[in-house]
Amino acid sequence: MKTRSRFLKYGVLSILILLAVPVGLYVYMVLGSDNSVLPESHGKVVSQLFMGDESNLPLIVGLGGAEGGNAWASNYWKTQRDDFIQQGYAFLALGYFGLEGAPKELDRIALEGVYQAIIAAAEESNINRKCIAVIGASKGAELALLLASHYSAIKTVIAIVPGHAVFAGLTAAMNTSSFSLNNEPLPFVPVPWSATPALIKGDLRAAWEHMLKDQEAVERAAIPVEKINGPIYFVSATEDEFWPSSEMSDVMMKRLEDNNFAHYVQHTAIEGDHASPLAHFDAIEDFLNTYFRSKSSENCGEPL
């Protein structure tokens, strides 16, 4: 009996020590980080433009997520990228962190830097600068919605498994905003200590559910989607293991309804996990061809 009691005692002690090490390291990183200095290469992005020989092309901008780099310029997305080009679009693949020439981490990414790169591409002679749409997935959807809510030149947003607010940057300490505007970090939903066990276990969904309990912070950091100057398509996942994208899409739909949003908006919840909506680009293509592009007008963003 004494042996069993001693075993349980030391077993519990070992577990507490194992938990204390990462928690202590996290505390050290939070207290030791200097948030007064903007990240190196702040405001810089890397982009690559793809297009055919036609003129007056509507521009689609592709934004990757937490994986970093320039996902839309990779061979993985070549088939879909080529599909857009064959359908008469120009395509701008834009990387905003995690590659040479851009910030190392997703930390206070400058909206104005991303927007300037979009406008520079839109000034190409073959592109119709009045027709700009952005597609983003996950953290890229968070960015796409933010860009469109601040810059009216963006006429349509495709938000795949999106968040409805600005969340913490993807740094070791997770104590800064993901995005900034004019060198000022945007309000963000902080990571509470209660989310630490879930983060240690790798249960991101549970960690986000802890974050979303802070309703005041969520309201301060909410993306003002009602300011977007055109149609919006939310594509979420019903069993999203990263964050509750379907529920957050519903919150944005309600916000748009409450603000009498003037443009067409749609939410499609795909059965499956975080990556499942990526198999449904046929629906996204239909949405863009119906609600974004108009061959009869110089402007985009309204039904034909």
| pLDDT (tens digit per residue) in 15-28 | 334 344 444 444 54
Residue predicted with more confidence, 12 or 248: 248
Confidence of residue 8 (pLDDT cuts 50, 70, 90): very low
Q: Are strands 90-95 and 46-50 parallel, antiparallel or unpaired?
A: antiparallel
- In this predicted model, what pLDDT tens digit does every residue of 247-269 receive, in sequence order? 999 999 999 999 999 999 999 99
Q: What is the pTM of this model?
A: 0.87
Cα 228 to Cα 262: distance, rounded to the nearest angstrom: 9
Q: Are strands 154-160 and 90-95 parallel, antiparallel or unpaired?
A: unpaired
- pLDDT at position 293: 81
- pLDDT at position 36: 76
Helices 139-150 and 111-122 pack at an angle, to 10 degrees, of 70
DSSP calls for the chain = -HHHHHHHHHHHHHHHHHHHHHHHHHHHHHHH--TTSPPTTTT--EEEEE--S-SSEEEEEEE--TT-S-GGGSGGGHHHHHHHHHTT-EEEEEE-SSSTTS-SSSSSEEHHHHHHHHHHHHTSTTEEEEEEEEEEETHHHHHHHHHHHH-TTEEEEEEES--SB-BB-SSSS--SBSEEETTEEPP-B---GGGHHHHHHT-HHHHHHHHTT-HHHHHHHB--GGG-SS-EEEEEETT-SSS-HHHHHHHHHHHHHHTT--S-EEEEEESSSTTGGGG-HHHHHHHIIIII--TTSS--SS--
Cα 66 to Cα 139: distance, rounded to the nearest angstrom: 6
- pLDDT at position 299: 67
The fraction of the chain above a pLDDT of 90, given in percent, is 82
Q: What is the mean pLDDT of residues 195-209?
A: 93
How many other CB atoms are there within 10 angstroms of residue 216's CB atom?
8
Contact 272, 262 (CB under 8 A): no
In the chain, the amino acid numbered 66 is A
Distance of CA 137 to the CA centre of its chain: 6
- pLDDT at position 112: 98
- In this predicted model, what pLDDT tens digit does every residue of 31-67 receive, in sequence order? 445 577 999 999 999 999 999 999 999 999 999 999 9
Confidence of residue 294 (pLDDT cuts 50, 70, 90): low
Cα 134 to Cα 254: distance, rounded to the nearest angstrom: 22
